[in-house]
Structure 1
Amino acid sequence: MTLDLRIFTEPQQGATYDDQLAVAQATERLGFSAFFRSDHYLAMSGDGLPGPTDAWTTLAGLARDTSTVRLGTLVSSATFRHPGVLAIQVAQVDQMSGGRAELGLGTGWFAREHSAYGIPFPDKRFGILEEQLAIITGLWGTTVGEKFSFSGEHYQLTDSPALPKPIQPKIPVLIGGGGPRRTPALAAKYADEYNQSFPEIDAIGPRIEVINKALADAGRAPESMVQSVALVVAVGQDEAEFARRAAAIGREPAEVREHGIAGTVAEVVDRLKALEADGVQRVYLQVLDLADLDHLDVIAREVRPQLG
């Protein structure tokens, strides 16, 4: 299996729908397998102009403005949407895209975006995530004509028709997080993919071993779970081009080399091959300069062909 490269964006830092569309269409044209975006409502730095765009509203538009690339979130926050509403939204995007939607879901972590937009942010959120996963997958998995009900600490659903249905038999569900026990068990129960977002490079292999043990404990084979990482990307055809791209996203060359997928083409190929040797099957390349579409071209033309 060739290492799967996906493009991952952070539009809350400042991007219109058209900015994201240009990247998504380049992602599709250049043969990357997916366009993913974060699900945030507040910039982590800078002014964030022109302001945030809602993740699932954006993906609904992209569902109609692209034709082959897969579309998803890394990751949606369980605090943002009622699980019944999110199940409907994702199923609709799946229908609108002809079966290309994927759902990444997490507890949420950025308290300031919640206070900025009046969204409740409970101290304890893991139980909310657990119930949302049970509800969303339960709604999608209910046979047409049957009803779905759920009674939990956080949510109650009574006699839901569990509609609409996705086109895909099963929309892939992505879970991440660094917890030692509960998160791996939750991933083993519900997820098709486990993602490590911005990990230390030497921690990736050991974390995959933890997830594989959780899968074994749950009676699942390791190959039933896609192992992925998300890392910032900055690639240059030479040192000067790399340094320019690092500067454009406010990163020092040495720092981004250490913590991301960064450097010259040869260095990036080596890093990706090392990740694959650690058990990584999919890499989300965090593209922070959405105006630099040539960057995607370099990765597609110079890096990807060397990965096998």
Structure 2
Amino acid sequence: MRALARTLTAVLVAAAGVTGCSIAEPSSDVAAGSLADIASLDGRSITVGSKEFTEQLILCEITIQALRSVGAEVSENCGLVGSDTTRAALTSGDIDVYWEYTGTAWISFLKNTDPIDGAEQQYQAVADADLDNDIVWLEPAPYNSTYTIVAKTDVATEHDVKSISDYAALVKSTPDAATMCAATEFLARNDGWPGLQETYGFTLPADKLATVAEGTLYDNAAKGSPCNFAEGVTTDGRIQALKLTVLEDDKAFFPVYNPAPTVRKPVADENPELRELLKPIADALDLETIQKLSTHVDIDGEQPGDVAENWLKEQGFIG
């Protein structure tokens, strides 16, 4: 029943992402907590969005419930499909705020080729540059939600693959064992598959590369079908739960991806309280925390809204 519920939820979320429609919700009764001591947004209307994967759905729900606890009227548009779609929803005004990643914005949206060394420096460069697009970056969370490559552990052990350089060597020596699963977006991004192959000097034969849905990546690698290796994200709780091996990015290819709320400038100007309201939430979201929250959804079958609510209450942010 949990699997069926997750499937139905995914279908509804995908439909919302394709149509770009906002799932309007009346402001529910979220009891005030410590955030209400910071500021009030009584009577303000804000639309919160996100991308479609688990971490983003959790961040979306955290933001919705946090804003409702201080009196805001919030409309939901969680689960938009892909970074480009979600960014376009922000710039067009379909949504007012969503959590984006510094590396994604710097390379995919601001069209820079190389990341900037250092998390703080990368954040400040993105925040400064995006003002030209009327987008305001609020305070970032400390964790790095960067890409990684995961492997079926017995295959990695058998072929002594511990790093992405080792994987590149395996592609050249034993391509049948180097099968890879990746989602469409990763295959098209400069900070994804094309850049990874170029940096590490390998080309995987096309018949050894499977394009799969993002939600199936970890299960595919754990089963070894249709791949032994897969694109992954460091914050995903399924890596540990499925006992996958994380390959070392020994050439430091993947940029830093600190998440931060991004807000349309007119909305940020009208609601300057947003920065201080969301800062303690961002500060509390370290790597261990987001991994734990993601595990509750992906492994335990809980709903993102329930996971967000429980965490906000544990922290005292809401009542």
Q: TM-score, normalised by structure 1?
A: 0.30
Is the strand fraction higher in 1 or 2?
1
More helix by percentage = 2
- Normalised by the size of structure 2, how large is the TM-score? 0.29
